[in-house]
Amino acid sequence: MRLLVVEDDPDLNRQLVTALGEAGYAVDTAFDGEEGHFLGDTEPYDAVVRDIGLPKKDGLSVLEQWRRDDRKMSVLILTARERWSDKVAGMDAGADDYVAKPFHMEEVLARLRALVRRSAGHAHNEMECGSVRLDTRTSRVTVDGQGVKLTSHEYRVLHYLMLHRERVVSRTELVEHLYEQDFDRDSNTVEVFIGRLRKKLPGDLITTVRGLGYRLTDIEDGA
């Protein structure tokens, strides 16, 4: 899962990036409306956390522009403004949810979990495929109830495949949702992560669809 944080307050920006990184997301960051607009326009984020009052380009018009350009990622707005009319304006501009400052980081994390799972068509934080379960609240993965230790990149690959298990996910798509913008990306490393996941999880869980990518297979219900 890859997120964008747009916040001009440097301390708050850093706190968000740190907390989201610890929660297992790949996080890109911007400090003004212009840079935020550009990144949201060109990179495939699973969700965006953004301030409304931003230098260079105001947050609401950036949001409206994204939606006009058919950018569909979930957007959580942060607003210092308590007035109900500002929340309405934010939602009407295309935000999916809001958190009023000051906020507890746990609330931002919970709202993001809900946005990410909903946008992929899931109602629950716990996802399963055969004997494998993944809990997005704790980033914990189990096989037949036994905990499995995954690295953060292995977890991101499995989380993404679980969220999109009804379809084939290409290697390029995985790479785009796995790494931060500045990361030296190499699509071959996805194969390495898949190989390690196959060793740690039931070997037939991840199917390679030749020339297309990967999908999860649940042997029990033949899906």
Task: Identify which of residues 8 and 43 has a Cβ nearer to Ca ion in the complex.
Answer: 8
Q: Which residue stretch of 40-48, 53-61, 124-132, 162-170 sits at the interface with Ca ion (rule: CB under 5 A)?
A: 53-61
Q: State the residue number with the nearest CB to Ca ion.
A: 53
Number of residues that bind Ca ion (CB under 5 A): 3
Q: Which residue stretch of 5-13, 31-39, 41-49, 138-146 sits at the interface with Ca ion (rule: CB under 5 A)?
A: 5-13
Question: Applying CB under 5 A, does 8 fall inside the site for Ca ion?
Answer: yes
46: which strand partners?
none
User: Taking a C-beta distance cutoff of 8 angstroms, is the pair 52, 26 a contact?
Assistant: no
Task: Identify which of residues 30 and 178 has a Cβ nearer to Ca ion in the complex.
Answer: 30
Helix pair 152-163, 171-178: axis angle to 10 deg: 120
CA distance linking residue 43 with residue 20, whole number of Å = 18
| Binding test (CB under 5 A) with Ca ion, winner from 35, 51, 96, 154 | 51
Contacts of residue 76, Cβ cutoff 8 Å, sequence gap at least 6: 47, 48, 49, 50, 95, 96, 97, 98, 99, 108, 111, 112, 115
Q: Using alpha carbons, select from 189, 216, 221, 222 the residue that is nearest to residue 204.
A: 216
Residue that has been written with the tokens 């507890």 in this structure? 104
| Binding test (CB under 5 A) with Ca ion, winner from 12, 19, 34, 53 | 53
**Least Å distance between CB 14 and Ca ion?**
14
**Least Å distance between CB 8 and Ca ion?**
5
Task: Identify which of residues 8 and 126 has a Cβ nearer to Ca ion in the complex.
Answer: 8
Task: Identify which of residues 6 and 201 has a Cβ nearer to Ca ion in the complex.
Answer: 6
CA distance linking residue 72 with residue 40, whole number of Å = 10
**What residue ranges bind Ca ion (CB under 5 A)?**
8, 51, 53
